[in-house]
Structure 1
Amino acid sequence: MRGNESPKHVYARPVMEFLAVATEYCATLEHSRERSRGELLDALLRLLPVLYWNAQVLDPMETDGQFLPDDRVTEQDYEYVRAGLRGLLDDWDEYEDLVMDDAGEREECRWVSLSESLSDVYQPLRNFVWVYQQRLEECMADAMWAVRDSFELYWGQCVVDCLRRLHRLKYMAHRESDEDDI
C-alpha cells in the first residue's frame, strides 16, 4: 500500500475485530475508577488474550509512512489512566519479575508496575483507535502499521507479562491466603 489511495483492507474483518477489542480495552482503562478491583481483574483477563490474538492475526503492512498519525495520548492522558489503575490495584501493582536487560542479552529481576505496563499497552492502542474514530482514511493504513509494529516490538510482550501477573492475582493469591489460614 503506497500513497494516499483508500485501502479496502483497513476495513477488513480482522482489523474491525481488533479495533473493537482495542476500543473496549481503552474504555476499560479510562473508566477503571468506576470498577472494583475484582471487576477490573476479570475484565482484563477477558480482554488481554483477545487483544493479543487479534493483534497477532493482523496482516503485516507496508507503508511509506507518509500519513503516520501523531501521538494523541498526552502525558496527562497516560498519567490519568496509570494513576487510576495504580489506585485501584494498590498493593497488587508492583511485583518482582524476570525481564530482559536493556541490551536484550540476559534476564534479570526487576520491580515492575502492573499499572504502568497496562498503560504502556493503552498508549499505542488509543492512538490507533483515535485515527479510526476520526475516520482519517489516509492515516488508517499507517496507523495499522504503527500499532502492529509496536505490538511486535513492545506492547505484545507487555500483554503477555500482564496476563501472567493477573492470572496469579486471580487464581493463586486466594490459595496462598487460604494456606495461611490453615
Structure 2
Amino acid sequence: MEKEKENNPIYERNTLEFVTVALEFCSFVETAGQRDLYEFVDKSVKMLPLLYLKASLLPDVEADDEAELEFSVTEDMYESVRNQIANLLGDKDTYLETFHPDMQYSDAPIAAFISENLADVYQDTGNFISLFRQGNEEVMQNAIALCRTNFREYWGQQLLNALKALHAVRYDDEENLEKNNNE
C-alpha cells in the first residue's frame, strides 16, 4: 500500500502542496470583501507567485477523456468573488491588457480587470479542490490533469496578468495604500 502511494501522482509532494496553496487561495478570494485594500493587495502579490509555482510543478498525468467531472464553482460563486474583488479594488481593478489575442489588430488599448482574472483562477482552482475532496482516486487524477491543462492554456496567464497589475497597485501606490490603511 505504501509503495502504491509512493508512485501515485495524487500523493506526490508537489500535488499536495498545490492542493494546500489552491485551497488557501480559494478561501482568500471568497472572503476578499472582509479585507481592506492594502491587506488584499499585499497578500495577493505574495500568494499568486506561489500558486503559479505550485501549479507549474503539478505532475503530468493521463486524463480519462470518458470521465464526466462535476464542477462545483457556480456562476453565482464566480460572480460573488469577482464582485467582492472589484468592489474592493474600485478604480484600481482596471488595467491595460497587453497579451490579449486581439491586441495585434487593435489601435486602441484593451481594458482588462484584475477581478475577472482572479475569478477565472478561482473557478479552476475551486473546481480542482472540490474534485480532489471527493477522495475518488480516478476523479483526483482527472482533476490534476484538467487543472494542469487549464493552467497551461488559460488561467496561468490570467494569474500573471492579475499579478502584474496588482504589483503596480501595491508598489506604485505603496504610500497611498498604506496611508489609506491607517485611516
TM-score between the two structures when normalised by the length of structure 1 = 0.86
Task: Kindly report the root-mean-square deviation, in angstroms, between the aligned alpha carbons of the 2 structures.
Answer: 2.2
Match for residue 161 of structure 1? 161
Match for residue 117 of structure 1? 117
1:82 to 2:82 alignment? yes
Match for residue 47 of structure 1? 47
Match for residue 180 of structure 1? none
**Whole-Å separation in 2 of the counterparts to 1:32 and 1:51:** 17
**Whole-Å separation in 1 of the counterparts to 2:47 and 2:174:** 22
Stretches of structure 2 lacking an aligned partner (at least 5 in a row): 178-183
Q: 1:72 to 1:79 in 2, by over 3 A?
A: same
**Whole-Å separation in 1 of the counterparts to 2:176 and 2:71:** 42
Task: Report SS of the residue matched to 2:99.
Answer: strand
The structure carrying a bigger helix percent of its residues is 2
**Whole-Å separation in 2 of the counterparts to 1:67 and 1:142:** 8
Q: Is the 8 A contact 2:70 2:131 kept in 1?
A: no
Match for residue 24 of structure 2? 24
Match for residue 57 of structure 1? 57
Paired residues, what number? Answer: 171
Q: Is the 8 A contact 1:100 1:107 kept in 2?
A: no
**Whole-Å separation in 1 of the counterparts to 2:131 and 2:56:** 20
Match for residue 35 of structure 1? 35
Task: Report SS of the residue matched to 2:64.
Answer: coil
**Whole-Å separation in 1 of the counterparts to 2:105 and 2:128:** 31
Match for residue 101 of structure 1? 101
Task: Report SS of the residue matched to 2:112.
Answer: strand
Letter in 2 for 1:106: Q
Stretches of structure 1 lacking an aligned partner (at least 5 in a row): 178-182
Task: Report SS of the residue matched to 1:106.
Answer: helix
Q: Deviations over 1:99-128 (max 9, x none)?
A: 2325xx837531001101100010010000
TM-score between the two structures when normalised by the length of structure 2 = 0.85
Q: 1:19 to 1:107 in 2, by over 3 A?
A: farther
Q: 1:69 to 1:158 in 2, by over 3 A?
A: same
Q: Is the 8 A contact 1:95 1:112 kept in 2?
A: yes
